[in-house]
Amino acid sequence: MAEATAAQQLMENLRGKTLIMGIGNPMRGDDVAGPRLIELLQESKAENLLLIDAGSAPERHLGEIEAAAPESILLVDAVDWGGATGEVAFFDEESLPQRFSTTHDVSLRLIMQYIREQTGVKVGLVGIQPEQTAFGTGLSAPVEDAVKRLAECLSAEPFKANLTGVSA
């Protein structure tokens, strides 16, 4: 999926009070993409977003998501679906590839389904194609660039207006 398409899908799918959960293990290279995004959004003082750094155990934050009562939910993770390194793609439950790879114990599909069933809110996933997720490696330059572009997109005025209920 082209990055422009992913940004357009974000605009179409995220409305109102939006919760973003960054998923990933900081010890596994590009897998830290989700938590890195949360860090950048916190630095930008993104007031319109509820932010959770779930680390490598997103299932531990399900009660927190329910309590927040968001209108939109976005998970962000390094997901190997076969794209180019640093490529960004938006998936919903229906478009999530049958075969893709993450480093987490609980499947993202199962987490998305559970959150939807508990909150009644559609859940989206932004997958960032990793270069490597080996233990002890750092964030690759293409993935760091993708995370920065995603943070800029989520902090942009038209997007912020969308999230606060004002038509963009």
What does residue 14 show for φ and ψ, rounded to 5 degrees?
A: -105, 125
> What digits encode the pLDDT tens for the residues 51-78?
999 998 888 898 999 999 999 999 999 9
- Backbone CA torsion sign across 126, 73, 18, 28: negative
The mean pLDDT of 70-91, rounded to a whole number, is 91
* Neighbouring-strand partners of residue 80: 101
3-class state of residue 46 by DSSP: coil
- For the chain, the domains span 3-162
Pick the CATH number of 3-162 from 3.50.50.100, 3.40.50.720, 3.60.150.10, 3.40.50.1450: 3.40.50.1450
pTM score: 0.85
CB 129 within 8 A of CB 83: yes
Could you give the CA distance from residue 114 to residue 33 in angstroms, rounded to a whole number? 23
> What digits encode the pLDDT tens for the residues 8-56?
777 777 788 899 999 999 898 999 999 999 999 998 876 678 999 999 8
